[in-house]
Amino acid sequence: MDGQPAMDAPSPLSLPRTVALVGLMGAGKSAIGKRLAARLGLPFVDADDEIERAAGCTISEFFERYGEQEFRAGERRVIARLLEETPRVLSTGGGAYMDPETRSLMKARALTVWLRAELDVLFDRVKKRTHRPLLRQGDPKEILARLMQQRYPIYAEADIVVDSTAQPAERTTEQVIDALRAHLQSQTTGQTA
Ligand SMILES: Nc1ncnc2c1ncn2[C@@H]1O[C@H](COP(=O)(O)OP(=O)(O)O)[C@@H](O)[C@H]1O
Ligand SMILES: O=C(O)C1=C[C@@H](OP(=O)(O)O)[C@@H](O)[C@H](O)C1
Ligand SMILES: [Mg+2]
């Protein structure tokens, strides 16, 4: 049996669609997405990186030069393009799923996973970073709390919800894989996840 998987080893996941991570700033979409892609042997793409590449400037510069509305339009175009590619792991920016057009495209073309996190966890992860323009418009913790109120009911429309807690990122990645497996299983057996 050398080189054979153990009898109880889970089978590799076969993903019919791109897995798109949604959630608030600091939820770990970028960090978990990268690990998830490596674990699943899939390409990884971060929509924010693609926007920066396409625009030739940082997200902060984009916001300064053109404003949030233009950013959402660029984000919409970039995500639409990425969703035409073969299945992969796609980390979106926190506002992407709030855009009705982007959201309906993601619902149609991707398996969406909401990384849900509590305020203190989010704040702890974002407080030392300065590259998120929305968090520089006032007190970052208050902004996050307000965005939680506005966005959590919408993020809840995602196919799968996984709690992103103050545990090692590898553990959260495992939980996403388990949740994906359960969801795909329920789809084939006709149960609800
Ligand atoms: N358990 C964890 N899950 C996800 N990120 C974590 C975790 N622990 C620490 N971090 C760190 O928190 C930050 C999360 O930010 P990021 O992945 O950019 O979030 P998002 O893309 O959702 O805004 C990263 O610097 C990451 O390394
Ligand atoms: O929540 C948002 O509206 C945003 C989140 C950011 O991405 P992360 O969620 O990856 O930080 C980035 O897209 C931009 O600063 C706007
Ligand atoms: Mg990110």
**C-alpha 74 to ligand 2 mean position (Å):** 13
Cα of 86 from ligand 1 centre, angstroms: 26
Read off the pLDDT of residues 82-95 as tens digits, 9 standing for 90 and up.
Answer: 999 999 999 999 99
The predicted-structure confidence for 113-155, as pLDDT tens digits, reads as follows: 999 999 999 999 999 888 999 999 999 999 999 999 999 999 9
Low-confidence ranges of the chain (pLDDT < 70): 1-11, 190-193
CA dihedral 166, 167, 171, 177 (to 10 degrees): -10
To test the pocket of ligand 2, the residue of 69, 134, 148 to mutate (highest count of ligand atoms within 8 Å of its CB) is 134
User: Best mutation site among 21, 22, 25 for ligand 2, i.e. most ligand atoms within 8 A of its Cβ?
Assistant: 25
pTM: 0.94
The partner residues of 19 in beta bridges, in order of sequence, read 89, 111
Q: Which domains does the chain have, with CATH numbers?
A: 18-186 (3.40.50.300)
Of 50, 115, 120, residue with least CA distance to 78: 50
The pLDDT, as a whole number, for residue 1 is 47
85 CA distance to ligand 3 middle (Å): 20
pLDDT at 4: 59
pLDDT given at position 97: 98
